Structure formats: structure tokens, C-alpha cells
A = this chain, B = another copy of it.
Amino acid sequence: MVFDSDDAEAAGTAKVQIAMRYDDKNKQFAILVIQLSNVPALLLQQDQKVTIRVAVLPCWESTSCLFRTRPAEPADSLVYNEVFWVSISYPALRQKTLRVDVCTVDKSHLEECLGGAQISLAEICRSGEKTTRWYNLLSYKYQQKENRK
């Protein structure tokens, strides 16, 4: 297989920047949702606010593993800088996957998720060091199209 090196979509993926840190002393996992870039690649309608939903999965405790940023007015880039704390042991954390979804919220508070990333925590660092990274977001519209093939 050969991808075209000048792929039209090469610059076109929406990305989310996330920092994570595990505090072994207090058994606390911090998820810092920093920012979104290239938001229009997820095909937003211009009048809907954008929220980022993060979930620590699998979650056996009803709905308490799910966090949401405040809804932000749509723009090409969006800065959130919101931190969420999870109390969890290190062995349990290493079994988890962080699911990050970018969703719109309309006036009646209905949420529609446009794309997401999954981050395995199997090799998350125990030392308390913060890792900050950009993650590509896969568009759900694209995935649905693929599934129909």
C-alpha cells in the first residue's frame, strides 16, 4: 500500500492536548485537558458549544468515572486547562483506558460526540512526573462511513 506523501488531509486532523500525572503518595490520578486544535476538521456546526468528555474505562461504578469540561464557544483552537482528579490505586489505573471525546452541546443540553481518542494507561508512569502529549482525534462520522462499507 502507498499513501500519497502530499496527502490532502495531512494537515487536517483535529487534535487534543492532554497532560497526565499519577501521584503515588496520595493515590491520585490527574487528567489535565489542555486544548483542542484544528476543531473544524470535526465538521462542527458554527452555533454549538464544544465540550470535552473524559472517561476512565472500564468503569464499574455507575457513572462516576466521567468528567466534562465547561462548554466553549466554537473556534479553530480552544483552550480549556481543566483538571480532573481520580482516586485510584496504581495497579488498578494500569488496567484502564482514558477515553477522550469531543462533543457539541445544543441549547436543550443534548450532547453529540464528533470524535475521540483512546489512551491506554497500561504503561502510565508512577513517578509523579507529568506527561504532556497531543493525540489525534478520529472523527465518528468517518468511522460510521467505514463501518457501512
A139 contacts partner chain B, Cβ-Cβ < 8 Å: yes
Given contacts A134-B122, A139-B58, contact A27 B10 (CB under 8 A): no
In the complex, what residue of chain B is closest to A91 when comparing beta carbons? Answer: B10
A76 at the interface (CB under 8 A from B): no
Give the residues in chain B near A146, CB-CB below 8 Å: 57, 59
Contact yes or no, A2 B97, CB < 8 A: no
- A7 interface neighbour in B92, B117, B121, Cβ under 8 Å: B92
Contacts of A6 in B (CB 8 A): 89
User: Is there an interface contact between A3 and B136, defined as CB atoms closer than 8 Å?
Assistant: no
Contact status B58-A95, CB under 8 Å: no
**Which residue of chain B lies nearest to A62 when distances are taken between CB atoms in the complex?**
B149
Q: Tell me whether A86 is interfacial, beta carbon within 8 Å.
A: yes
Q: By the criterion of a CB under 8 Å from any partner CB, how many residues of chain A are at the interface? A: 50
* Residue A130 is within 8 A (CB to CB) of chain B in the complex: no
Are the C-beta atoms of B121 and A3 separated by less than 8 Å? no
Cβ 8 A contact of A12, one of B65, B95, B133: B95
Q: Is the CB of A138 within 8 A of B61?
A: no
Our pick among B58, B63, B64 for the contact of A138 (Cβ within 8 Å) is B58
Q: Could you tell me which residues of chain A, from 82 to 124, have a CB within 8 Å of some CB in chain B?
A: 86-89, 91-92, 94-97, 99, 117-123
Across chains A and B, which 9 residue pairs bring their CB atoms closest together, nearest first? A5-B89, A118-B118, A120-B135, A3-B88, A13-B95, A7-B92, A1-B64, A2-B87, A120-B136
Known: A3-B88, A5-B92, A13-B58. 16 other contacts (CB 8 A): A1-B64, A1-B65, A1-B87, A3-B87, A3-B89, A5-B27, A5-B91, A11-B95, A13-B96, A13-B122, A57-B146, A63-B149, A99-B138, A117-B120, A120-B133, A122-B133
